[in-house]
Amino acid sequence: MKCIRMALASNRISLRQSNFIASPSKKLTPRRPMHVLASCTIEGKGSNGISRRLRDSMGSPYRKAMWRRDCNSFNFSNESYAAGWLFGCGCVLPYNTKQAAEFYERAVSQGHLEAHVTLGACYFLGRGVDKNEAKAVELYRAAADKGESEAIHALAFLYYGGDCGFPEDREKAKEMWTKAACKGNLDSFYQLGEHFVAVDDASKGVAFLRSAAEKGHTEAIAELGRMYFTGRGVERDEHRSEYLCLTAASRGHLQSICHLGLLYLTRKGHD
């Protein structure tokens, strides 16, 4: 219970969400809605986004001054994309979504494929630009046509949910997630795992989730932890569940903190 209170106290998870997480009888996380995917893209929470090494290298006062001085003269797509990301999250540079979108536009014009995806997410959410789903789809398609796995992954979501005027076509979504997974996209491995578990092909779903988890995908680690607790698709194993949930919780996964609370409550001798 203490674990659940910790997550609620952070104001990042609601009581309704905690009830959903703590009930093994309910299907957990069938899919992330497209607007959540877009938010994760902008914030760099998925496999897309600026690398931790690049973020860390910008933390010194010297680097800060250099970036603030030079960002308006960037001539390379990686520099423009990084500047957009820093304005978008308020890391090193002051938080400014409009300037972030301008730098993403510049990176797109310089041919940066990930910038297509991030700018598409900005248009999808209306963050720093006027909301324009058609423009978002255009950017996703342009990057997907050149093989960008994050763009393929995003388009798969649109087919899966029938969003932005796309016909609902889960077979097409599965095909596109498979294509992105073949390019190494861990979010697509995770989503394929979720899809197969949802359609009662748990053995195939677990295989995809394990592939993502072994490569460090936090959501996949957390989902496997829940599955080992409930015994869905795998043999029930509380110790394995605890290990996986602790691993995900150590990476800031709040649902895993809640799930650890539930796990400890079910054991005798624990408060």
> 0.85 cut: is pTM over it?
no
pLDDT digits (tens, 9 = 90+) for 23-69: 333 333 334 445 555 555 555 554 444 444 445 544 554 454 445 54
DSSP-assigned letter for residue 28:
P
Tens of pLDDT, residues 124-181: 999 999 999 999 999 999 999 999 999 999 999 999 988 888 999 999 999 999 999 9
Do the Cβ atoms of 188 and 180 come closer than 8 Å? Answer: yes
Whether 10 shows a pLDDT value over 50: the answer reads: no
Buried b (16+ CB within 10 A) or exposed e, 81-99: bbbbbbbbbeebbeeebeb
Amino acid at 76: F
